[in-house]
Homo-oligomer: A and B are copies of this chain.
Amino acid sequence: MDAREVLEQVKSGGISVEEAERYFQKQPYEEMGYAKLDTYREIRSGFPEVVFCSRKADVHLKNIYKRLYEENGEVFGTRASVRQYEVVQEVLPQVVYDDVSHILKIEAKDKTRIGEIAVCTAGTADIPVAEEAAQTAEYFGANVNRIYDVGVSGIHRMLSHLDVIQRANCVVAVAGMEGALASVLGGLVSRPVIAVPTSVGYGASMNGLSALLTMINSCANGIAVVNIDNGYGAGYIATQINRLAVKGE
């Protein structure tokens, strides 16, 4: 129903002024005082709201998890600590915590997964970020292939997995230190590469800034970059691309 239709309904009495006002106020969220839960979010964007656990107060976290679980039958949060896991367990005992990715979730059973995303890392230290990406994409309904520890200093390791990488609808390239993985992948595949710099490294890596610059400056085509350690963001956009690829328009 577009604006004109709403207005015509108002005129004809089909809907009340109050209903129309709400339509135009664009206020489809629930007020919780300390936060505005975007419960219509799934309808608008096709994705449920996800909890960024880091720095959340215990009482807020508990309530948000409870509320979202009641609303959606599942709930998913990133950057959770072990202590936060225990806190949420008090209200949702079935909650599951993965201490590699730091994801804290209750996932509905028997969800279908579609398409194929490849998540690659340069080293083993990049795996926590890669798992955040992979599990995010899986939660949002994508099949994920993990190809870890295929950094450019041993290019033969990557070449031997090229078929899996090349057939994915989207490739997520996770790398710290000099972050060259994305460029090499970009030259080898025909699908979009989402590059995730990580804070792995020391000295002049400047907590991932160096890898970020490498990826932004990539001479290869078909590469776009998300924030340092932002596995979630990469998993999200990879899911968007994978959905487009599977469903078409």
Contact = CB atoms under 8 A, between A and B. Distances in A.
Interface of A: 2-4, 7-8, 10-11, 13, 17, 20-21, 24-29, 34-36, 38, 41, 44-47, 54-56, 60, 115, 122-125, 127, 148-157, 159-160, 163, 169, 177-180, 183-184, 186-192, 194-195, 197, 199-230, 233-234, 236-237, 240-241, 244-249
Nearest to A128: B55
A232 B17 CA distance: 42
Given A220-B153, A223-B237, A228 B202 contact: yes
A204 B212 contact: yes
Nearest to A225: B225
A155 B178 contact: no
A17 B21 contact: no
Given A2-B163, A169-B244, A246-B249, 19 more contacts: A4-B21, A11-B17, A29-B157, A34-B124, A36-B149, A45-B222, A153-B218, A153-B220, A155-B187, A192-B244, A203-B230, A204-B217, A221-B233, A221-B237, A222-B237, A222-B240, A223-B237, A241-B244, A248-B248
Contact of A28 (B156, B178, B212): B156
Contacts of A216: 178, 203-204, 210, 212, 225-227
Nearest to A187: B153
A179 to B, nearest CB: 7
Contacts of A35: 124, 148-149
Contacts of A247: 248
Nearest to A38: B154
Contacts of A122: 219
A155 B44 CA distance: 13
A165 to B, nearest CB: 13
Nearest to A157: B36
Contact of A21 (B3, B29, B183): B3
A26 B180 contact: no
Nearest to A12: B11
Contacts of A206: 209, 213
A248 B191 CA distance: 12
A159 B25 contact: yes
A183 B187 contact: no
A3 B3 CA distance: 13
A81 B45 CA distance: 42
Chain B CB count within 10 A is highest, among A149, A216, A222, for: A216
